[in-house]
Copies of this chain bind each other. A is one copy, B any other.
Amino acid sequence: MRIAIDAMGGDFAPEEVVKGSVVAAKEHNVGIILVGPKDRIENELAKYDHSGLDIDIVHTDEYLAEGEHPAYALRKKRNASILVATKLVKEGKAAAVLGAGPTGGVVAAALQVLGTIGGIARPVIGGAFLGFAPQTIMFDLGGNVDCRPDQLLDFAVVGTVYAQKWLNIPNPTVALLSNGAEEGKGNEVLRESYTLFKKSGLNFIGYVEGYDIPSGKANVVICDGLVGNVVVKFCEALGETICHWLQEKLSGKLPREDIEEVVGGLLRATNAAEVAGGGPFWAVNGVVCKAHGRSKWQEIAGAIAQAKLAVEVDLVGSLKSELELARSKLNIPNPPD
Q: Which A residues are within 8 Å of any B CB, using their own CB? A: 130, 132, 143, 145-146, 177-180, 186-188, 190, 209-215, 223-227, 229-238, 240-242, 245-246, 249-250, 253-254, 258, 261-262, 265-266, 269-270
Contact = CB atoms under 8 A, between A and B. Distances in A.
B234 A210 contact: yes
B265 A237 contact: no
A238 B241 contact: no
A236 to B, nearest CB: 6
Contact of A146 (B187, B223, B242): B187
A104 to B, nearest CB: 12
A145 B187 contact: yes
A85 to B, nearest CB: 27
Copies in the complex: 2
B211 A233 contact: yes
Q: Which 7 A-B pairs have the closest CB atoms?
A: A210-B233, A210-B234, A179-B229, A210-B230, A211-B233, A145-B187, A214-B241
Contact of A211 (B145, B209, B211, B234): B234
A56 to B, nearest CB: 38
Contacts of A212: 237
Q: Give the interface centre of A215, A227, A249 by most chain B CB atoms within 10 Å.
A: A227
Chain A, interface SS category: helix
Contacts of A269: 245
Contact of A230 (B143, B179, B245, B253): B179
A143 B230 CA distance: 19
B229 A241 contact: no
Nearest to A141: B179
A70 to B, nearest CB: 14
A270 B87 CA distance: 48
Contact of A262 (B215, B246, B265): B246
Contacts of A232: 210
